[in-house]
């Protein structure tokens, strides 16, 4: 197979930032994706209807295509039912962060105790608003996601009608959790399909591969590959592409985030081809998300061709994953 056609690719976990950064990165995603779930961890975080609407407007202005839908999210706080009713048509999901777990998450929750969250989560469940979760405790960095599994169990069993997305899963434990509760789903990034902690810190430190959750062990990566390559029906692609300026990554106190937006589809072709699973790529990058989220993106066909593509060193101020390296697939055209 020398070309691959992907219909309506979706990135169900994306950081677009704001201002100048937004202007650089938004067109890179809107070129090859039909839509993306846009994360709300701006400074300050997106917490009101006005903020959602004006952020959406700024995204649309920054995109260079009119066939891309930004699916908007709110940053989780304890919201009233009345507020959620008023905002439900403007958002697709609410993203919950444990306070301090990652970039710009200081305003996240300090505890996952059910009772204080009940009103908001019950209202979300009734209104069909999806809960998107950054699932890490504040424990030892390699164990944070596995330790969070009890929180997923508690959320999934207390709110059985609430759709819960385990975002950017990185462990075998999270993969095993998927089928235990009907209302649990997951996104998987492309970088977590490719790297382990060894790639980040096993040799010279590679700041552009440093992200949260941190890449884990080989058996974790294998578990992720298994569900992604099979396009498990509860799993979808979410890049977690998270741009930081070069000087903030190559510094003492490197921010977490891997920037993959412009090369995500090319890398996915490479991986799915390597494992003879290209037939499942369409479901992983679009069909599963359409079904899980109940969304119908506008028509877009992306044709990739088996042609070398040298990844640029920089996009604006941002260094992408695999900068300067040659990928086996490139974008041939977008219709
Ligand atoms: O590595 C990450 N970067 N993980 C996240 O959860 C947030 C993201 C960011 O916003 O930079
Ligand atoms: Zn993220």
User: Looking at the CA of 240, which ligand is closest?
Assistant: 2
Give the chain's residues under pLDDT 50: none
Report strand pairing: 235-237 vs 301-305: unpaired
The single residue of 240, 247, 279, 287 carrying the catalytic annotation is 240
Looking at ligand 1, which residue's alpha carbon is closest to its atom 10?
A: 103
What's the pLDDT at 194? 98
What's the pLDDT at 150? 98
**90 included as an active-site residue:** no
| Nearest Cα residue to 187 out of 237, 225, 229, 258 | 237
Three-state DSSP class for residue 23: helix
- Whether the CB-CB separation of 284 and 292 falls below 8 Å is answered with no
| Nearest Cα residue to 331 out of 25, 4, 68 | 4
What's the pLDDT at 63? 93
What's the pLDDT at 73? 98
Q: Does the C-beta of 103 come closer than 6 Å to ligand 1? A: yes
Beta strands in the chain (DSSP E): 3-7, 10-14, 35-38, 69-75, 93-96, 130-133, 164-166, 184-188, 235-237, 301-305, 309-310, 326-327, 330-334
What's the pLDDT at 223? 98
What's the pLDDT at 65? 81
What's the pLDDT at 280? 98
Report strand pairing: 35-38 vs 69-75: parallel
Q: Does the C-beta of 321 come closer than 6 Å to ligand 1? A: no
Report strand pairing: 301-305 vs 3-7: antiparallel
What's the pLDDT at 66? 86
- Whether the CB-CB separation of 197 and 214 falls below 8 Å is answered with yes
C-alpha span between 209 and 191 (Å, rounded): 8
Greatest Cα-to-Cα distance within the chain, rounded to the nearest angstrom = 54
Peptide bond into 138 cis (omega under 30): no
Q: What is the pLDDT of residues 86-119, one digit of tens each?
A: 999 999 999 999 999 988 999 999 999 999 999 9
What's the pLDDT at 41? 97
Q: Does the C-beta of 41 come closer than 6 Å to ligand 1? A: yes
C-alpha span between 100 and 249 (Å, rounded): 18
What's the pLDDT at 64? 80
What's the pLDDT at 321? 98
Looking at ligand 1, which residue's alpha carbon is closest to its atom 4?
A: 212
Q: Does the C-beta of 192 come closer than 6 Å to ligand 1? A: no
| Nearest Cα residue to 223 out of 176, 286, 157, 291 | 176
All domains in the chain, ordered by first residue: 3-334 (3.20.20.140)
- 327 alpha carbon – ligand 1 mean position (Å): 24
């Amino acid at each position: 197979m020398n070309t691959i056609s992907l219909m309506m690719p979706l990135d169900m976990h994306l950081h677009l930032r704001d201002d100048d950064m937004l202007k650089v990165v938004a067109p890179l995603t809107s070129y090859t994706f039909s839509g993306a779930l846009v994360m709300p961890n701006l400074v300050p975080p997106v917490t009101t209807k006005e903020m959602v609407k004006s952020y959406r407007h700024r995204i649309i202005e920054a995109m260079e295509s009119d066939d891309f839908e930004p699916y908007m999210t709110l940053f989780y706080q304890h919201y009233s039912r009345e507020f959620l009713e008023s905002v439900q048509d403007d958002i697709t999901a609410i993203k919950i962060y444990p306070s301090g777990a990652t970039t710009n998450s200081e305003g996240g929750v300090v505890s996952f105790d059910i009772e204080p969250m009940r009103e908001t989560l019950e209202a979300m469940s009734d209104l069909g608003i999806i809960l998107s979760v950054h699932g890490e405790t504040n424990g030892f960095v390699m164990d944070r996601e596995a330790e969070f599994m009890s929180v997923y169990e508690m959320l999934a069993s207390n709110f059985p009608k609430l759709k819960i997305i385990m975002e950017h899963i990185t462990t075998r434990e999270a993969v095993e959790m998927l089928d235990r509760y009907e209302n649990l789903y997951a996104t998987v990034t492309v970088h977590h399909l490719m790297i382990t902690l060894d790639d980040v810190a096993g040799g010279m430190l590679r700041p552009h591969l440093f992200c949260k959750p941190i890449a884990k062990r080989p058996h974790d990566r294998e578990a992720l590959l298994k569900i992604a390559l099979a396009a498990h029906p509860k799993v979808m692609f979410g890049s977690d592409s998270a741009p930081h300026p070069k000087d903030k990554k190559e510094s003492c106190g490197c921010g977490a985030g891997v920037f993959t937006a412009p090369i995500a589809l090319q890398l996915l072709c490479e991986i799915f081809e390597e494992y003879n699973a290209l037939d499942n790529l369409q479901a992983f990058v679009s069909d599963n998300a359409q079904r899980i989220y109940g969304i119908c993106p506008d028509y877009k066909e992306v044709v990739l061709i088996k042609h070398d593509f040298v990844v640029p060193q920089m996009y604006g101020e941002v260094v992408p994953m695999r900068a300067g390296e040659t990928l086996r697939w490139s974008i041939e055209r977008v219709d």
